[in-house]
Amino acid sequence: MDLFLQQLLTGLANGAIYACLALAVVMIYQAIDHFNFAQGEMAMFSTYICWAMIAGGVPYWIAFFATIVVSFIGGLAIERIIFKPLHNAPVLSHIVVFIGLVAIFNSFAGAIWDHNIKTFPSPFPEGSFGGLIGLHEVGMFFVTLLLLFAIFCFFRFTRVGMAMQAAAANPDSAGLVGIRVGWMLALGWGLAAAIGAVAGMMIAPIVFLEPNMMLGILLYGFAAAIVGGISSPGGAVAGGFLVGIIENMAGTYIPAIGSELKLTVALILIVTVLLFKPNGLFGKTIVTRV
Amino acid sequence: MNTGRKLAITFAAVATMGMAATSALADKMYGPGVTDDSIKLGNTMPYSGPAAAYGQIGKSTAAYFDKINKENGGVNGRKIEFISLDDGYSPPKTKEQVRKLVEQDEVLLIFESLGTPTNSAIHNYMNKKKIPQLFVATGATKWGDPENFPWTMGWQPSYQTEGALFGAYIMENVKDPKVAILYQNDDYGKDYVHGLKEYLGDKADSVIVAEESYEVTDPTINSQMIKLKDSGANVFFNVTTPKFAAQAIKKFRELNWDAVFLNNSVSNSVGSVYKPAGLDNSKGIISLMYYMDITDPGNFETEGYKKWSKFMDEYYPDGDKTSAFTAYGYLVGQTMEQVLKQAGDNLTRENIMKEAANLDLELDMMLPGIKIQTGPNDFFPIEAMMPVEFNGEKFNSLGKVVSVN
């Protein structure tokens, strides 16, 4: 029973990691209608910026918010400088650029801050609830929910949020009603980068900061976003927790899977959901009028 | 008639001179890259790219050869020309650079090339061409296989050897041992587990109570740690790379697991593992070492350290005197020097291999009781190590060397 409870909570804690990054994935998908393969590396780079500020003597919370702002501007700049000229290029060109960005961010982080692992501070107190789950994990759980709430409000109650959805769903009509579609895309990039930065700063205290920190996590983040529904922030968070728990339970109680096939479980989840419920468990079916 | 006699004499003279020349060559036998006053040695290192930190090994070896060239005039009167090229830790690049070293520069041998994937890429090439690939800087077990690869030899204790040495430590020091293992799911992790199991023999099934693996893409190893603790083990054997080792140490303390923590040498580093994991958390971890900890002030007064420190100041002043890599390069350089010394004037590739497999060498920076020993069927130079315990600042020797022999 003890083992079960521990694995359940560890699954939840891992799920919080996936959910956090899945939110950034959903955010960018809402804006540009693609997955951004460089999302993880951008988040890692933002985390390094925060780490460098803290190492330079800046207090945690100032560094935290400054990093969010810097990341927002960075994301905006990436769209304006790199993707705007590619606006009418085929999807494959975009994917090539995404992969290029992965390599660029990864190599630069390694070149600037070397490849040794770094300790990243947590804003939450140290310790754990009876050895079952760390306080940082609990804190992260709530940060994820808070982030989700903010995103929900942004899309539901603000004009900009709604304009952004319109620009992504139907760029032509959105343009006709006076929405500046190009800037909406840029805004989407900025927000995704900012959310990614929060995810990175929450994840780093658990997995340690290094250039390859997000390599595996992004895969799980994609799994979470797809399982929950790529169009739904709430679904992505639920998907994250589901993936975390299923992965741990399967690894613990199904001997054929064990620790060796844990990653495979995530991939099977992606394929299964795409086959039977392509919009995810919580996603809306989007009908396009022709 | 006269002309005929003259010719005959000339022929006889030429023949005699020829014989004289042959007998002179019998004293001095040279392979490619060797002359009366120089020997060319080749090497590849990651001086750029993700593994660039290891480049210090090559730089300190180069500095060591500068030292013996300057102070002793080389080895047996021949200066050493050490050609070390950058391969960026990329196997195809290693192949290209080694081809260049062998076919253009015509080196006598390749030694201390760094990395398992990189050396694997040239493993067949070297053995087909019958060129020594000596003292490769990697811990894989496959370098000690004289039957199938008679031209390749490792240097540091292999992962499998270390696994076996941990087995020896457990059986000698832990009462009623129950071992739980966390290992990386690849050749490196499996080599360690294999070594431990082979040492334990029939007892392996009863002594090892749990094994968990992880993939390098796994975000955390928390789930595995919980399962391992649940097995009731009183020894935790950690076979992970630095990031996962730091995670394992943190989780080990968080779970309040009361067990002996054994850590593999791959992540036995204060700077890149114990500090990030927390020095307090890392107290009491036991690992194995074979050469002295150069950051421990307790060693500063030893003869070996003083000599090394002087060498660093004079020949490699930019080098990091707190990095174990610089001591490593110095020690491998000394081993190579010994092989060349023993080979004397018979510097063929065959004889180099013969002498490399005929070493019985003590180096002053090695821990007491640990020697470099090889034989025609023993291509594992270092097969004994010293158990040490980390006390939150430095490593304390536990006194008795463990050995598989």
Alpha helices in chain A (DSSP H): 2-32, 39-55, 60-78, 91-113, 135-157, 159-169, 171-176, 181-207, 215-228, 233-253, 262-276
- Asked if A208 and B218 come within 8 Å (Cβ–Cβ), the reply is no
| 3 state SS of B239 | strand
pLDDT band at A279 (very low <50, low <70, confident <90, very high): confident
pLDDT band at B22 (very low <50, low <70, confident <90, very high): very low
Residues facing A222 on adjacent strands: none
* Alpha-carbon distance B217 to nearest alpha carbon in chain A (angstroms): 4
Q: Is residue A282 part of a domain?
A: no
Separation CA B221–CA A255 (nearest Å): 17
The pLDDT value given to residue A57: 94
Query: What are the tens digits of pLDDT across the range B138-185?
Result: 989 999 999 999 999 999 999 999 999 999 999 999 999 999 999 999
| 3 state SS of B372 | strand
Closest CA to A19 of A263, A245, A241, A229: A241
According to CATH, the topology of domain B160-289+388-403 is: Rossmann fold (3.40.50)
Separation CA A256–CA A262 (nearest Å): 11
| B136 sits in which H/E element | strand B133-136
The residues near B323 (Cβ < 8 Å, ≥ 6 apart) are B53, B56
Q: Give per-residue burial for A186-197: e unless 16+ CB within 10 Å, then b.
A: bbbbbbbbbbbb
Nearest residue, CB atoms, B219 vs list A7, A216, A252: A216
On whether any CB of chain A is under 8 Å from the CB of B304, the answer is no
Of A230-234, B21-25, B290-294, minimum mean pLDDT range: B21-25
Q: Which two tokens stand for residue A124?
A: 């939450």
* Alpha-carbon distance B159 to nearest alpha carbon in chain A (angstroms): 21
Query: Are B383 and B161 spatial neighbours (Cβ–Cβ below 8 Å)?
Result: yes
pLDDT at residue B383 is higher than 50: yes
pLDDT at residue A289 is higher than 80: no
Partners of B216 on chain A (C-beta within 8 Å) are 216
CA B129 from chain center: how many Å? 23
**Residue with the larger pLDDT of the pair B126 and A1:** B126
CATH number at residue A208: 1.10.3470
Partners of A267 on chain B (C-beta within 8 Å) are none
Partners of B275 on chain A (C-beta within 8 Å) are 119
Query: What are the tens digits of pLDDT across the range A96-131?
Result: 999 999 999 998 998 899 878 899 999 998 877 776
Partners of B185 on chain A (C-beta within 8 Å) are 259-260
* CATH number corresponding to B38-157+298-366: 3.40.50.2300
Count of structural domains, chain A:
1
Nearest residue, CB atoms, B218 vs list A116, A119, A216: A216
Q: Which of A112, A259, A262, A265 to mutate: most B Cβ within 10 Å? A: A259
What is the domain extent for residue A121? 2-276
Of A73-77, A91-95, A116-120, A228-232, minimum mean pLDDT range: A228-232
The residues near B25 (Cβ < 8 Å, ≥ 6 apart) are none
| 3 state SS of B137 | strand
Q: Tell me the three-class secondary structure of B15-82, residue by residue.
A: HHHHHHHHHHHHHCEECCCECCCEEEEEEEECCCCCCHHHHHHHHHHHHHHHHHHHHHCCECCEEEEE
Nearest residue, CB atoms, A262 vs list B218, B255, B273: B218
Q: Which residue has the tokens 């080599």?
A: B191
Partners of B212 on chain A (C-beta within 8 Å) are 258-259
On whether any CB of chain A is under 8 Å from the CB of B172, the answer is no
Interface ipTM above 0.90: no
* Claim: this prediction has a pTM higher than 0.90: no
Length of chain B: 405
Q: What mean pLDDT do residues B67-80 have?
A: 95
Residue ranges of chain B assigned to CATH 3.40.50.2300: 38-157+298-366, 160-289+388-403
- Asked if A117 and B216 come within 8 Å (Cβ–Cβ), the reply is no
The pLDDT value given to residue B4: 59
Partners of B242 on chain A (C-beta within 8 Å) are 116-117
On whether any CB of chain A is under 8 Å from the CB of B226, the answer is yes
Q: A–B: how many Cβ contacts below 8 A?
A: 85
Q: Which of B183, B186, B211, B222 to mutate: most A Cβ within 10 Å? A: B222
Partners of B219 on chain A (C-beta within 8 Å) are 14, 17, 203, 206-207, 216-217, 220
- Asked if A11 and B223 come within 8 Å (Cβ–Cβ), the reply is yes
In a 10 Å sphere around its CB, with 0-12 CB exposed, 13-18 middle and 19+ buried, how is residue A108 labelled?
middle
On whether any CB of chain A is under 8 Å from the CB of B14, the answer is no
Separation CA B312–CA B393 (nearest Å): 24
Q: Which of B212, B218, B229 to mutate: most A Cβ within 10 Å? A: B218
CA-to-CA dists, residue A119 to B137, B246, B247, B277, angstroms = 29, 10, 11, 8
Q: Is residue A90 part of a domain?
A: yes
pLDDT at residue B12 is higher than 70: no
